[in-house]
């Protein structure tokens, strides 16, 4: 999807972002929805953010001994992609690069369709073609140990892509190094799928995502729990919805509501919504977005909002209204407001709705790979004084939230 430049003439939309990989017809694309925090800037995640974060990243360790990388954890893609040491581009050099020679467990892989066969000396090898924001780049395949958690509580062996080239724009200025896909499937062999590698033998093949609420007094961030979830982050019991398309993290939405009033915009059979940890906006088809804008009737600077009854946008899933409050999707600015909704430029394949960061900040979300379902509960944003201990094979990954 391309970076949306606007919604309509009455709302100024700041082009927000989190960049992630998207698989379309065999090629991999980078979904970019905004300018990102520059890697050259001082660490901004310690500074309170008056507005919502536009990217979240955490750490992954690759190789023996471990090499650390900052990655976006993306439910919309299914493989790990990080810069490799063979990449001489400035964008690669400004980030951490994986050095195979420094890992005693690294195995060079020649072909994606033979993902466990070591590359013999002198043999030809395939390269992975990626299209990143319209720019062709490429990488080669490596197999190695991959670990998550502050103490590497969760480890597995998997294949990944070590990039050989990266374009300066936008990669040189990104605060993170790469992307770790958490989709149930991968574009190549199953050995590239890290959910399989990390969770296949665990008691709970699931992961939970918490994103902190937007606040002027609290640093943005969050937490990814791999192998379970943190119940203390939920203000209610989980409501489970079945995955509606095999190999994805999407659910059926029966209708969309404004303050409980159905818009009746989803055709018979409902809309399909991707729950996306790599999208900074909520994306909707143009006709649905237009109807929402008409119902909201914000005015040129959001001055027409009925503050006695702030509008809530709801997504009806299996009889449950998953509602976004006004502060979830509207941000006040000196010039008026910014809307964290945008038009989806879909290709007719995959979900027609994308529930990104505004939705995930409102709802603690659990992705259950073992049962092919997604759980939602209102997030509890109060500080955790004494969080319960996690099982020994469950990893907690702190997420850093940044905004350009």
Q: What CATH number should be reported for the domain holding residue 282?
A: 2.40.70.10
Residue 212 lies in a domain: no
271-275/282-284 β-pairing: unpaired
Record the pTM: 0.88
Residue 11 lies in a domain: no
Which of the four pLDDT bands, split at 50, 70 and 90, describes residue 17? very low
Which two three-digit tokens encode residue 206? 């699931």
Residue 377 lies in a domain: yes
pLDDT tens string 304-339: 888 788 899 999 999 999 999 999 999 887 777 889
pLDDT tens string 44-100: 444 444 578 888 999 999 999 999 999 999 999 889 999 999 999 999 999 999 999
Q: Which of 147, 179, 199 is the last residue of a domain?
A: 199
Q: Which domain holds residue 97?
A: 20-39+47-199
Residue 370 lies in a domain: yes
Helix (H) / strand (E) element for 208: namely: strand 206-211
Tell whether 169 and 25 lie within a shared domain: yes
Tell whether 234 and 194 lie within a shared domain: no
Mean pLDDT across the stretch 98-122? 96
271-275/135-148 β-pairing: unpaired
Tell whether 59 and 170 lie within a shared domain: yes
- What is d(CA 339, CA 305) in angstroms, rounded to the nearest whole number? 13
CB neighbour burial string for 295-305, b if at least 16 within 10 angstroms, e if fewer: ebebeeebeeb
Q: What is the percent of the chain with per-residue pLDDT over 90, rounded to a whole number?
A: 62
């Amino acid at each position: 999807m391309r970076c949306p430049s606007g919604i309509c003439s009455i709302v100024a939309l700041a082009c927000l972002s989190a960049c992630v990989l998207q698989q379309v017809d065999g090629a991999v694309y980078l979904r970019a929805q905004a300018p990102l925090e520059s890697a050259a800037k001082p660490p901004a995640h310690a500074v309170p953010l008056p507005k919502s974060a536009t990217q979240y990243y955490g750490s992954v360790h690759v190789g023996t001994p471990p090499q650390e990388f900052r990655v976006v954890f993306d439910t919309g893609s299914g493989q790990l992609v990080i810069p490799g040491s063979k990449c001489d581009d400035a964008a690669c050099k400004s980030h951490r690069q994986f050095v195979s020679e420094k890992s005693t467990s690294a195995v060079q892989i020649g072909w994606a369709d033979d993902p466990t066969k070591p590359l013999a000396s002198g043999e030809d090898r395939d390269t992975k073609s990626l299209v990143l924001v319209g720019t062709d780049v490429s990488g080669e395949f490596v197999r190695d140990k991959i670990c998550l958690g502050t103490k590497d509580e969760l480890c597995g062996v998997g294949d990944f892509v070590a990039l050989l080239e990266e374009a300066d724009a936008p990669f040189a200025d990104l605060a993170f190094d790469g992307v770790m896909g958490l989709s149930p499937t991968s574009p190549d062999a199953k050995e590239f799928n890290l959910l399989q590698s990390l969770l296949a033998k665990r008691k709970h093949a699931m992961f939970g995502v918490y994103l902190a609420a937007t606040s002027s007094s609290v640093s943005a961030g969050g937490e990814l729990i791999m192998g379970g979830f943190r119940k203390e982050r939920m203000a209610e019991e989980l409501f489970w919805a079945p995955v509606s398309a095999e190999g994805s993290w999407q659910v059926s939405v029966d209708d969309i509501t404004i303050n409980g009033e159905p818009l009746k915009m989803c055709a018979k059979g409902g809309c399909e919504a991707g729950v996306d940890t790599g999208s900074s906006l909520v994306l909707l088809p143009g006709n649905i977005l237009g109807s929402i804008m008409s119902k909201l009737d914000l005015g040129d600077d959001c001055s027409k909002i009925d503050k006695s009854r702030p509008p809530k946008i709801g997504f009806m899933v299996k009889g449950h209204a998953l509602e976004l409050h006004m502060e979830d999707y509207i941000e006040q600015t000196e010039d008026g407001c910014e809307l964290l909704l945008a038009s989806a430029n879909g290709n007719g394949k995959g979900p027609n709705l994308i529930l990104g960061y505004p939705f995930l900040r409102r709802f603690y979300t659990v992705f259950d790979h073992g049962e092919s379902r997604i759980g939602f509960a209102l997030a509890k944003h109060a500080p955790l004084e004494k969080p319960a201990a996690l099982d020994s094979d469950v990893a907690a990954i702190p997420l850093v939230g940044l905004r350009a």
